[in-house]
Amino acid sequence: MLVFVLNAGSSSLKYQLINAETSELKASGLVERIGIDGILKHEVGENKKLTFELQIPTHKEAIELVLRILTNDETKVINSISEIEAIGHRVVHGGEYFKKSTLINKDVMDKIRKLIPLAPLHNPAHVLGIEICNELMPNIPNVATFDTAFHQTMPEENFLYAVPYGDYTEHHLRKYGFHGTSHYYVSNEAIKILNKKTSKIIVCHLGNGSSICAVKDGKSISTTMGLTPLEGLIMGTRSGDIDAGVIPYLMERKGLDSNQIINYLNKKSGILGISGISSDLREVIKASNDGDKRSKIAIEMLCGRIKKYLCSYAGLMQGVDAICFTAGIGENSDLIREKVCEGLGFMGIELDTEKNKIRTHGTREIHNESSKTKIFVIPTNEELVIAKDTYNLVKSK
Ligand code: AMP
């Protein structure tokens, strides 16, 4: 079954065309700057990469363009749109409504809309993406896969904030957690390698946005992101954990309103804010190597926060069988992995620094022989999870 996987953002669209039975990736791409000018980067297989720069005023035109490219003579991977049998949508916020992926109907759409206050930047774009697919491919079933769903197994003591309880029941104030599809995929791959009935796994999804998840017996029991993706680790431009008292203090001192302070914490902070160089860790590592002090401290802060959560989750689960590193930084930066694991031998976590430096595609083990805890690098694949969930739901419809 060919599944079109769509991740609609406010001015961008990511897509993949996947054979869900064989896991074969037929084509993938990214449309950016919708409504501004427009760039489409399209990839077929491993080798063929194409870039188109053209006016893309709306999301509808963006999806029409992608469908044309998939069937167009020069870039063709399918003969006709009718070969697409299902569409899987990434949806950031599923609130407490969705504990797993679901076929989309009117009730599901209403709930995704109801959750807009919790994900004002993301859910409106997802609704738009689904509506356009319904219009352009009216008879094809649509499935939603939620970033929050995997974390719905967290126990109350790990998802509540210590504020008056009524604000949870009345205003849905709680930790939801994000990157759930990635944490699910990576922990599941680790479980296959461990081949044990019970397991304690910590997944470090370290990218532009980052989160850590404690996965016990295949279930998320705690994660670092919260009501919104701002909580937890230090990220490219996000502060992560911060004393809530900082907010009124800065609002008063700098005369900021609530939008401005949220923008400050989401867009101007994190690695970018500390280093003053970039949100891209590669540039910050380079600057640090060239002697830039603020870049060096940004890297120390990033690794210190990861280590803090790693140790606290090992404590929460009373042990850890495997630590998994994934996403842009987790998969590619041997420096960050080394700094995070440094000094944790007392907990049975021992990195093999040579294995850690070897770069290959695919899953690899980077612990040394005496390490009680296994350490893996596992490339994430959220789109494959979406395609498989879509296939399973549509097949059993
Ligand atoms: P993602 O959001 O998963 O695409 O990850 C993006 C982040 O990964 C950016 O901060 C990149 O700088 C970072 N990244 C990618 N490759 C490397 C690398 N070799 N070393 C350090 N950071 C990297």
Ligand 1 atom 8 nearest Cα: 328
Decide: helix, strand or coil at residue 28.
strand
- CB–CB of 44/53 below 8 Å? no
Binding residues: 7, 14, 90, 205-209, 280-282, 328-332, 382
Position 136 scores a pLDDT of 97
Distance separating alpha carbons of residues 347 and 6, to the nearest angstrom? 41
Containing 289, the helix (H) or strand (E) segment is helix 281-289
173, 234, 389 from 108: Cα distances, Å: 21, 33, 16
Which band of pLDDT confidence, cut at 50, 70 and 90, is reported for residue 121? confident
User: If you average pLDDT over residues 113-130, what whole number do you get?
Assistant: 94
Position 348 scores a pLDDT of 97
Check residues 73 and 225 and name the one with the higher pLDDT. Answer: 225
Which band of pLDDT confidence, cut at 50, 70 and 90, is reported for residue 313? very high
Q: What is the distance in A from the centroid of ligand 1 to the CA of 258?
A: 30
Does the Cβ of 12 fall within 6 Å of ligand 1? Answer: no
Token representation of residue 256: 């900021």
Check residues 17 and 120 and name the one with the higher pLDDT. Answer: 17
Distance separating alpha carbons of residues 274 and 320, to the nearest angstrom? 32
Cβ contacts of 151-154, under 8 Å, gap ≥ 24: 151/175, 151/176, 151/177, 151/178, 151/180, 151/183, 151/213, 151/220, 151/223, 152/94, 152/96, 152/98, 152/99, 152/220, 153/99, 153/219, 153/220, 153/221, 154/220, 154/221, 154/222, 154/223
Structural domains present in the chain: 2-146 (3.30.420.40), 180-382 (3.30.420.40)
Instruction: Judge residue 369's burial from the number of C-beta atoms within 10 Å of its C-beta, 0-12 exposed, 13-18 middle, 19 or more buried.
Output: exposed
For the question of residue 147 being annotated catalytic, the response is: yes
In single-letter form, the type of residue at position 30 comes to L
Write down the mean pLDDT value for the chain: 96
Least confident range of 67-81, 145-159, 219-233, 248-262: 67-81
User: If you average pLDDT over residues 156-162, what whole number do you get?
Assistant: 98
Q: Tell me: the pLDDT tens digits for 350-375?
A: 999 999 999 988 999 999 999 999 99
Decide: helix, strand or coil at residue 324.
strand
pTM value is 0.96
